[in-house]
Chain A
Amino acid sequence: MQIYLPIAELPINVFMIFAMGGTVGFLSGLFGIGGGFLLTPLLIFSGIPPAVSVATVTTQIVASSASGVLSYWRKAGIDFKLAGVLLCSGVIGSALGVWIFGILQRLGQLDLVISLAYVTFLGTIGVLMLGESMKAIMRRKSGKEPAGRRPGQHNWVHGLPFKVRFRRSKLYVSVIPIFGIGSSIGFLGSVLGIGGGFMMVPALIYLLRVPANIVIGTSLLQILATMAVATFLHAINTQSVDIVLALTLMIGGVIGAQFGAQVGQGMRGEHLRLGLGLLVLLVGLRFAFNLVVEPEDLYSVSVIEEPVK
């Protein structure tokens, strides 16, 4: 069944989009991620303009993180103060991101920057995840206890000034690294159409030592809020949020996520991380392939949007 997308201005098979949303939703439920980094490339590769893909996925992430936020809220698994600081910095980051997005679009280099950023970030994080999960699996096989994280352990981050106390996370840290994490993920989110959960969670755990039971809920709330702001800014600035596409993706996504979460509960953490690492790396490689291999047609045509009267 074809459905006409009012903003993308092309018809698309609604079942294909639904299936995409469902598959990514399944994986996001399985791995506990937002899945934007999978969904945006899938949409781009299926012929939806990159601008519309990126902007619309920000809306989809709002929906997919909303149900997660609700359930963590009920379990008191959110540090609202930490999420608030992350959010303030995230808003600045995504405002900057949307602004640069517009400039790149005008320069014709948006696709390149999106591809390069995907290769760099997904490549790096994929390799790190693979390495870490392999080590964990080896350790388990050799029978040694994994080296547990000691909550009192400090690193260079804890020596920075402007310290603030976060009661719920039992933390007393500088706002500088929090600001750094929040703004860079907000920036990447609005440029790349990703929520950044797969970057935020490790950053909060390893850099700030946020307790494990708080980290996912807090990161989800921050992602929800940042992506809501990104949706709003995209709607105003690039005007490429397609509400019909977003709704189709959301419905597929929330259903898929439920099944994914069920399957994920029966799997070991390091196996999940290994799978996620592979997935992240594959998406990165797919983008690298496009950049390195000579394209079939060297020429491409882009219509320059007339300014709105």
Chain B
Amino acid sequence: MRLALQSLTTLLTITLLAFSAAAPALAEKLVSAVSSSRVAITSNFTGTQILVYGEIARDAETVSRTGNQDVVVVVEGPLERVTTWRKDRIVGLWINATSQTYIAVPSFYAVHATDDLRNIASEDWLKQYRIGLENLPLAALGTRAPATERKAFKEAFLRDRVQHGLYSQMSKSINFLSPTLFSTTVDLPATIPTGDYKVTTFLFSGGVLLDSQEQVLTVAKIGFEQVTFNLSRQYPAVYGALAIILALFTGWIAGVIFKKD
């Protein structure tokens, strides 16, 4: 008992020292990268995959840890404002009746890990770093609904996003190529929103966060899709006029081709 206490104190001292003095030099460091920093949406875009890989770098003097080392990769899309509706039966018709609005939820969210999340770190850690679907901060805007109802809405929202392939959580989906090299592929479905994505890699050991790294992934329409979309947003009048001219032209051409007399 005494011995155990003593060793714990020693360990604590070492850890404290490590964090205060020369933290990076002593602890494991994480080096990670994304296969491409840009996803281009073109006319034949039907979704894609990105590869997130990296290495847990150890200094020569670092004592190799006995505890498990866990890597978590989180891909988060640009934040958006979302309303979840629930239909209720009103005078015999199923109508959108109650709603909850979440501000600033990720439009895309994927978490890959080497193990079940609850084996990797405590809920407090996971909540703090927004790791895991249940740990996303989904606070409804100005609602006084009871907790059970809020939970039902939250579950429905997550279910919808998972069904559409926009949210995913996969444990044991990161492969170790060697004791220090890891990689995982994240599916990006065809319906992903455009914008800047955050790819964060976390290194946990024994429930403690050792290091994390962040990369930016840009999802953007290019070429014709980009021109069309930008035109429709920046010059909607021109876009509308073009649509009309295109329609008139098609109709006219058809009239000329199929003219009988």
Contact = CB atoms under 8 A, between A and B. Distances in A.
Interface size class of B (residues with CB under 8 A): 35 or more
Interface string A283-299: 00000001111110111
Given A2-B44, A3-B44, A4-B225, A298 B248 contact: no
A244 B225 CA distance: 9
Nearest to B192: A9
Interface stretch (A165-173, A189-197, A232-240): A232-240
A112 B191 contact: no
A299 B153 contact: yes
A258 B258 CA distance: 7
A28 interface: no
9 contacts: A3-B43, A4-B225, A59-B246, A63-B247, A67-B258, A112-B96, A231-B243, A244-B43, A304-B83
A254 B240 contact: no
Contacts of B244: 59, 62, 228, 231-232
Contact of B240 (A241, A292, A294): A241
Nearest to A236: B236
Contact of B46 (A2, A233, A250): A2
A124 interface: no
Interface residues of A, number: 59
**Which among B93, B153, B243, B248 has the highest number of chain A CB atoms within 10 Å?**
B243
Interface string B69-100: 00000000000111111111100111110010
Interface of B: 41-47, 80-89, 92-96, 99, 101, 107, 153, 156-157, 159-161, 190-191, 193-194, 221, 224-226, 228-229, 232-233, 236-237, 239-244, 246-248, 250-252, 254-255, 258-259
A239 B99 contact: no
Nearest to B190: A11
A138 interface: no
